[in-house]
């Protein structure tokens, strides 16, 4: 028996997510538009409008140039499709550098979209930012470990939690975000043992990506897991569907039929 009954149209709440820790794994996936949000809606507890859209949809090399306007547009589209799953939106790089800026931008997200929460990358150093939001009734999903918005300053995507000192740092980051009122945490690109230590150190749910199975849930980027994004494939991504292959095959059939005159046929004419 699942705490969240899929596909019944009732919106998943933050308290449902909190209750799932230690009871039932939380399933989260990204979506960037209404079409896919509708397909995923109800089948997962949470949908993330990730700034990964800047790479898979915008074709950029990293997430850093995503803008507030872009995130708001995609979140409005996702919310039009997602009536049951809880929707979280990534605050883009540079939109939460100060408490005032974070509050202004997160307020804009709440006023212009139906998303239930925002996601912010960073640990201890962002505790004051997360606190400023949660104290003003904005729900925050934290994000620690490998943080894509730090890729340029860190000089690449680096797996975290490889030694005890770094595990301790991750645990401190998680505790700081819990103290600040984050309702859950994404833990990305972290050795399994470290992710498990983080999950055990906090009472809020942890959602892993490339972090093994010791977390309270999992998130994947939909265009990676369904085989549409071909620029690179991180080791942790399991591909559940060969999207790019099926699209190419479908397109080839369409092309062949148009070229041969087989399409449109009688069945597809007025």
Contact 77, 31 (CB under 8 A): no
Angstrom distance (rounded) from CA 78 to CA 114: 9
List residues bridging with 125 in a β-sheet: none
DSSP designation for 236: T
- Residue 30 found at the interface with ligand KIV (CB under 6 A): yes
Query: Which member of 186, 190, 194, 202 binds ligand KIV (CB under 6 A)?
Result: 186
Residue 257 is among the residues annotated as catalytic for this protein: no
CA-nearest of 201, 135, 146 to 172 is 201
Query: Which member of 219, 223, 227, 229 binds ligand KIV (CB under 6 A)?
Result: 219
Nearer to ligand KIV, 50 or 123 (CB): 50
Angstrom distance (rounded) from CA 159 to CA 150: 12
- Residue 52 found at the interface with ligand KIV (CB under 6 A): yes
Q: Cα dist. 243→61, 172, 224, 238 in Å?
A: 21, 39, 9, 13
Using CB under 6 A as the binding rule, the residues of this chain from 247 to 266 that contact ligand KIV are none
Q: Which stretch binds ligand KIV (CB under 6 A): 2-10, 49-57, 172-180, 261-269?
A: 49-57
Query: Which member of 20, 21, 47, 50 binds ligand KIV (CB under 6 A)?
Result: 50
Give the list of residues 6+ apart from residue 168 with CB closer than 8 angstroms, or none.
none
Q: Which stretch binds ligand KIV (CB under 6 A): 4-12, 43-51, 122-130, 194-202?
A: 43-51
Least distance in Å: CB of 269 to ligand KIV?
42
Nearer to ligand KIV, 52 or 84 (CB): 52
Q: Which stretch binds ligand KIV (CB under 6 A): 45-53, 69-77, 93-101, 231-239?
A: 45-53
In the set 178, 188, 242, 257, the catalytic residue is 188
- Residue 142 found at the interface with ligand KIV (CB under 6 A): no
Least distance in Å: CB of 88 to ligand KIV?
9
| In the complex, residue closest to ligand KIV by CB | 50
Q: What is the phi/psi pair of residue 119, to 5°?
A: -120, 140
Angstrom distance (rounded) from CA 46 to CA 187: 15
Nearer to ligand KIV, 109 or 209 (CB): 209
Tokens representing 109?
A: 């997200």
Tokens representing 241?
A: 């569907």
Q: What's the distance, Cα to Cα, between the start and end of the chain in Å?
A: 49
**Active-site residue numbers?**
188
Which positions touch ligand KIV (CB under 6 A)?
Answer: 30, 48, 50-52, 90, 186, 188, 209, 219, 221
């Amino acid at each position: 028996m699942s705490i969240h009954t899929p596909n019944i149209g009732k919106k998943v709440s933050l308290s449902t997510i909190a209750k799932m820790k230690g009871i039932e794994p939380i399933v989260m996936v990204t979506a960037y538009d209404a079409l896919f949000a509708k397909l995923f809606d109800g089948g997962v507890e949470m949908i993330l409008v990730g700034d990964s859209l800047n790479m898979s949809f915008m074709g950029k090399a990293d997430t850093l140039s995503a803008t507030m306007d872009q995130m708001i547009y995609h979140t409005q589209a996702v919310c039009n499709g997602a009536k049951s799953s809880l929707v979280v939106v990534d605050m883009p790089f540079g939109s939460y550098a100060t408490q005032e800026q974070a509050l202004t931008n997160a307020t804009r997200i709440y006023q212009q979209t139906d998303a239930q929460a925002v996601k912010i990358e960073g640990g201890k150093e962002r505790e004051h930012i997360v606190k400023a939001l949660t104290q003003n009734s904005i729900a925050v999903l934290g994000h620690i470990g490998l943080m894509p918005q730090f890729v340029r300053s860190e000089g690449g995507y680096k797996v975290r939690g490889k030694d005890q000192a770094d595990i301790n740092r991750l645990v401190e980051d998680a505790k700081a975000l819990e103290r600040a009122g984050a309702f859950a945490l994404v833990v990305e690109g972290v050795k399994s043992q470290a992710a498990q230590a983080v999950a055990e150190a906090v009472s809020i749910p942890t959602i892993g990506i490339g972090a093994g199975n010791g977390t309270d849930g999992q998130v994947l980027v939909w265009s990676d897991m369904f085989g549409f994004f071909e620029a690179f494939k991180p080791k942790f991504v399991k591909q559940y569907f060969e999207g790019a292959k099926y699209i190419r095959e479908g397109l080839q059939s369409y092309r062949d039929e148009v070229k041969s005159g087989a399409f449109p046929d009688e069945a597809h004419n007025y």
